[in-house]
Amino acid sequence: MTAEQLAELSDLFVVAAVLLYVFSMVGFAIELAFGRARSGKAEKPVAIKQPVAVGAAGAEEVPPTAETPVVAHQGPARSLSRRPGRSTGAHRAGTVALALAWVGWAANFAAILSRGLAVDRWPWGNMYEFVVAICFAAVTAFLGTQLRYNVRFLGAFVMVVSALGLGAAVRYFYTEAGPVVPALDSYWIAIHVTAAIVASGLLTLAGVAGVLYLMRGEGMSRLPARADLERVAHRAIVFAFPLWTFAVIAGALWADRAWGRYWGWDPKEVWSFITWVVYAAYLHAKATAGWRGRAATIVQLVGFACLLFNLIGVNIFIGGLHSYADVSN
């Protein structure tokens, strides 16, 4: 295939990913809307009493009325446990939605791969490619977490964010496939930008969980318990923070190679560092002061707002040395 055909194929894969993410969002929304409501607290194992059969093999001799506690769960299992779901219509809708999410993920990946083959470079040299990659990273973070824990309650929200992100990339940030400016034609783009993309995907997952935490009331709700939402956000940030730290350091090294200085108060550099400071404060407060709940969630959402402004606001409204600051490139 020619470069032009590969570029057109990439565009088609992006459109397919948008549609698949939208259909997946609908399925997850059905599961969330019609599934069983949950209490405001994470469910814990509780002890119930059960009679012990006298004379059973290996059992000690106890009076006929003796009782012993066994561990059981009341209501649905915890949202972060490994468990099969109930065989209900709502659960089946969620299962189909998860399958569609995986197919959309594959289409998103195919769009990135075909774009890279079309331009013969790492495919995040402009705003359009960068946003497509971040949406892919956000869905990857969600699906990767789902492989270990049941976090399907986040599916509808991650899918709508990813679908809107890809839609905005096509509508507002689209750039024809082609070469990049000389400063970006470097192996550093594979190091610095890749780390930033992966970290941004994880932080997006944490941001979605944080927003749901603030939306969640204390009583019965379709949303999972606040403790579970906070746990998801914290784990995502713990993984993302070292990657973001590496991205900031790698960016400084790349800046020295490209422009002859490590730090030049470029808007992108400043807001990347501000984002790092806020997430560092969040982790420090969690580890030393024991912050949790609403206060910790607000801090991490401030960090997420800084991340979004750095990725979108700086690129659109503030000029600088980074080529992403001009979405028409």
Model pTM? 0.79
For residues 61 and 220, which has the higher predicted lDDT (pLDDT)? 220
CA atoms of 99 and 84, how far apart (whole Å): 15
If you average pLDDT over residues 251-273, what whole number do you get? Answer: 83
Distance CA 290, CA 283 (A): 10
> In this predicted structure, what is the pLDDT of residue 321?
57
What average pLDDT does the segment 260-272 reach? 84
**Helix spans in the chain (H):** 3-34, 89-119, 127-148, 155-172, 188, 194-215, 226-259, 267-284, 294-308, 314-317
Q: Cα separation of 217 and 196, whole Å?
A: 33
- Kindly tell me if the per-residue pLDDT of 309 is higher than 80: yes
The pLDDT confidence band at residue 326, using thresholds 50, 70 and 90, is very low
pLDDT at residue 60 greater than cutoff 50: no
pLDDT at residue 80, as a whole number? 56
Contact at 8 Å (CB) between 129 and 311? no
The C-alpha atoms of residue 286 and residue 38 are separated, in whole angstroms, by: 26
Q: Indicate whether 232 pLDDT > 70.
A: yes
Q: What average pLDDT does this structure show over 238-264?
A: 87
Give the pairing of strands 46-51 and 67-72.
antiparallel
Q: Which two tokens stand for residue 12?
A: 């088609």
Q: 9-54, pLDDT tens digit by residue?
A: 999 999 999 999 999 999 999 988 887 666 556 554 434 344 444 4
- What's the mean pLDDT in 267-288? 90
- Domain coordinates of the chain in residue numbers? 120-325
Torsions phi, psi for 221 (to 5 deg): -160, 160
pLDDT surpasses 60 at 74:
no
What is the pLDDT averaged over residues 74-102?
68
> Distance between the two ends of the chain, CA-based, in angstroms?
25
Q: Residue 273, exposed/middle/buried by CB under 10 A (0-12, 13-18, 19+)? A: middle
